[in-house]
Amino acid sequence: MKKKIYFQIFIILIPLLSGIIWPLQDLFYSLLSVFNINTDALKSFIASISNNNKINSIILGGFLTGSLWVYFNIKNKESLLNTGNGYFDSSYFHYWIGSKILGYGKVTLIKVPIQLQYKLIINDTFREVLVDSNAREKEEDVEVSTLNLEVESNTINFILSDTYQTKIDEIPLEKRNLPTIIIERSSEYSGVRTFNPNFVNKIRNCSNSYSRQYKHINIFATTNTNHNKAIVEQCFKNGGRTGFERISVFDQKTELINNSRKYYFYKEHIIL
């Protein structure tokens, strides 16, 4: 994805950079003459701007760069930015450049780190956000449990278990004694991706309730793209009225210990 972004930016900037290095108008006139286009009027117009060939070259380079920028924005409007089979763990800056500078209108959340999924949605970075089309909707019962609510704090943990169960010892040690809400599916963790509206509703009810009491929220989630999109839009976005002053999403890591996979959350990303 980054190569695609850098390549298009390089193509767009070539005329401007070329205009700074050498007289671009001479090359431009030669190209037009190949197609038997009369350049007298254009030469007169450029000469009327300035008698300095260097300045005219830069102006012409800027015009051509602007034209290429418009072309790519029109071309990319209905295009998907992150395509391919890789893991799209580029920084948010690259996604912002792809959307706001290069005009890409679509992004998929598939194979995007969860903290980036939250940030892309909450900031409305792209016009259209795609999720896993293979996840079927299935209403299932959801369990809500609490820990440490008697502890005085302005921060609360939300542990959201969907694709597999998250245990309290998988979150950072310094976060385990904080007030914690655990929202998880009541059925067996099969690893099959589904979309459960009840799961999102429970999270929305809890976020609405506890945002009155706590300023900061830490999110530890094992949720698929369909749930992530709905959770952010319905629970934490709300036209900028989330109720929480700060939203942190924790990245997850896995290690192989004694031939057994160990999952744990380790890195905090402040989303809002």
Along the chain (272 residues), what's the average pLDDT of each consecutive run of 10 residues? 95 94 82 81 79 86 95 98 92 97 98 96 97 90 96 97 91 97 84 88 95 96 96 82 86 82 91 91
According to DSSP, the residues that pair with 256 across neighbouring strands are 261
Q: How many CB atoms lie within 10 A of CB 7?
A: 10
Q: Among residues 25, 46, 73, which one ends one of the domains?
A: 73
224 and 150 within one domain: yes
- On whether residue 236 sits in a domain, the answer given is yes
| Residue 241: predicted pLDDT | 56
User: pLDDT at position 182, please?
Assistant: 98
Residue 257 lies in a domain: yes
pLDDT at 179: 98
Domain end marker among 73, 104, 121: 73
- Considering the domain boundaries, does residue 206 fall inside one? yes
**Domain assignment present for 164:** yes
In a domain, 79, yes or no: no
- Give Cβ neighbours of residue 258 (< 8 Å, ≥ 6 apart): none
Asked whether residue 29 falls in the same domain as residue 149, the answer is no
Q: What is the pLDDT of residue 23?
A: 83
112 within a domain of the structure (yes/no): no
- The CA distance from 222 to 166, in Å, is 7
Do 149 and 256 share a structural domain? yes
Contact 16, 58 (CB under 8 A): yes
Quote the CA–CA distance of 9 and 6 in Å, as a whole number.
5
Query: Can you read off the two tokens belonging to residue 260?
Result: 């057994």
End residue of a domain, out of 73, 89, 106: 73
What is the number of structural domains in the chain? Answer: 2
- In terms of Cβ atoms closer than 10 Å to its own Cβ (0-12, 13-18, 19+), residue 56 is buried
Domain that holds residue 153: 138-270
pLDDT at position 122 is: 95
Whether 244 is covered by a domain: the verdict is yes
